[in-house]
Amino acid sequence: MTSASLIDKYPIEKIEVYNLKNYLINSGWRAEPFGRKEVLKFISPKPIWGNKYFEILIPSNRDLVDYAQIVTTALKAISTYENRSLENIIPQILVLSDLFKFYISTISTKIGNIPLKEGLPLYENINDLLIFSACAELYPEKRSFPKRLKIATDFAESCLIAPSNYGSYVANILCPIPSKESQGVSFDEYPPLERRSVIRILRGFKDVTEAVETKTPDPIVKNYQQGFNANMCDALVGIIEVARGNDLHIQANLSPSWSIPDDIITDISLVSSSKDYLEAASTIFGEEVLRSVNKPLIGLALNLTRNPNEEEKQRTIRLITSIEGIGVKTVTVPLDETSYRKAVDAHKDLRFISVRGSLEKIKNRWYLTNPEDLEIIGDLDPRRANLDQNIKHILARTLKRRTDPNLEKRIDSF
């Protein structure tokens, strides 16, 4: 491709000197002195053979007469070294990001357009896929999320829709990621939430292909802590439905600014039957759960209620607690008169209670059936409590209207 045709096809004129410098520095290239002030020299992160390194020259300012030509030559050199197409590199030079490409090939998308009624749910579901992947990175023990977490929605809102391709409709999604300088860490240290969320989605895709091959949703279900949760399954089902029975092809072009795990696959095709296993996994994640509580649930009693109909004698409390492997939840507990009175006393004095029973989840609500051994706990011993670190924040908000001079100390002792 000639320089002229390259400039015509790609937005070379949008690339500034700082775009090139930032991309190279964040990708591990090193600046070295050069004899001419008009250009800057960079050396590749690794040698291409022996002690021989790849060299790239970029313009030092935009006022050079041959600016576009030097940029074009540099882009081709980067493409050669990274073995990636200019189509994938240039968006990431303009915005430091990971790039997802969802290929939708149907009769109506052959000329590169997509009907509005299909395009809207496509992007809505991609948005949800990103949001709930970030949610899972924050709380990997959870199998589903009834609400979107703000930090996750902030990540999705930072993502961009890049131009599509001719010949089929391609949803190009740029997921901006922080530079290593802004994070204050090196390449191999803990990657930022944005990159981890992208990696989680790719691991989930791999689990889906394995589910199709083994004809069971087990690979998705078993790997939820590193892959898909219920919300992500639902979002991907929505994306697959837009393909109308055709295979869904997905490519990911990850920025070299952060190291990429060796087991990650970045070119995936999902057959239409993937939908069946995703729906089955989502059902398993969200189905009613009934299990005995080996350890007592320990928490605070809230919303104590008595049915005015004395014949039924129904009394319930809502216990804010932490369920092992699931997280902080509010559990509805029916009680007899004696246990209810204990709960009332504990509620008045802001004391903790413990209770055993069987946990049941119905339509995103948790219930404790057959409760027994309800006890009031005096000074809570953190070694006895199955409360995680997040519950103290929830308790602080829940109890903010209550006056207790020792409340802050008691919450911090969790």
CATH of the domain at 349: 2.40.50
> Between 43 and 377, whose confidence is greater?
43
**Domain edge (last residue) among 38, 60, 86:** 86
On the question of pLDDT at 382 being above 50, the answer is no
On the question of pLDDT at 74 being above 80, the answer is yes
Say if 254 falls within a structural domain.
yes
Average pLDDT score over the chain: 83
On the question of pLDDT at 34 being above 90, the answer is no
Residue 345 and residue 387 in one domain: yes
Give the per-residue pLDDT at 346.
Answer: 87
Say if 59 falls within a structural domain.
yes
Say if 266 falls within a structural domain.
yes
Name the one residue in this structure whose structure tokens are 């399954």: 233
Give the per-residue pLDDT at 111.
Answer: 77
Q: Where is mean pLDDT largest: 131-140, 296-305, 313-322, 323-332?
A: 131-140
Give the per-residue pLDDT at 384.
Answer: 44
Inter-residue contact 135 to 231 (CB < 8 Å):
yes
Say if 91 falls within a structural domain.
no
Give the per-residue pLDDT at 385.
Answer: 46
> Between 406 and 56, whose confidence is greater?
56
User: 233: part of which helix (H) or strand (E)?
Assistant: helix 230-242
On the question of pLDDT at 183 being above 80, the answer is no
Residue 167 and residue 233 in one domain: yes
Residue 74 and residue 113 in one domain: no
Residue 122 and residue 246 in one domain: yes
Residue 340 and residue 279 in one domain: no
Residue 104 and residue 71 in one domain: no
Residue 47 and residue 104 in one domain: no
Residue 186 and residue 61 in one domain: no
Mean pLDDT lowest for which of 111-120, 126-135, 265-274, 320-329? Answer: 320-329
Residue 77 and residue 101 in one domain: no
Say if 92 falls within a structural domain.
no
Q: Where is mean pLDDT largest: 66-70, 193-197, 341-345, 369-373?
A: 193-197
% of the chain exceeding 70 in pLDDT: 80
Residue 121 and residue 79 in one domain: no
Task: Please tell me the total count of domains within the chain.
Answer: 3
For the segment 199-216, the average pLDDT, to the nearest whole number, is 97
For the segment 51-60, the average pLDDT, to the nearest whole number, is 92
Say if 130 falls within a structural domain.
yes
Tokens describing residue 372: 């027994």
Say if 368 falls within a structural domain.
yes
**Domain edge (last residue) among 269, 286, 303:** 286
Give the per-residue pLDDT at 284.
Answer: 86
CA distance 38 to 345: 79
Residue 151 and residue 37 in one domain: no
Residue 275 and residue 312 in one domain: no
Say if 184 falls within a structural domain.
yes
Provide CB contacts within 8 A for 86, sequence distance 6+. 6, 10, 75, 76, 79
**Domain edge (last residue) among 286, 312, 333:** 286
Structural domain range at position 80: 3-86
Give the per-residue pLDDT at 291.
Answer: 53
Give the per-residue pLDDT at 200.
Answer: 97
Q: Where are the beta strands (DSSP E) in 157-282?
A: 160-162, 169-176, 248-253, 267-270
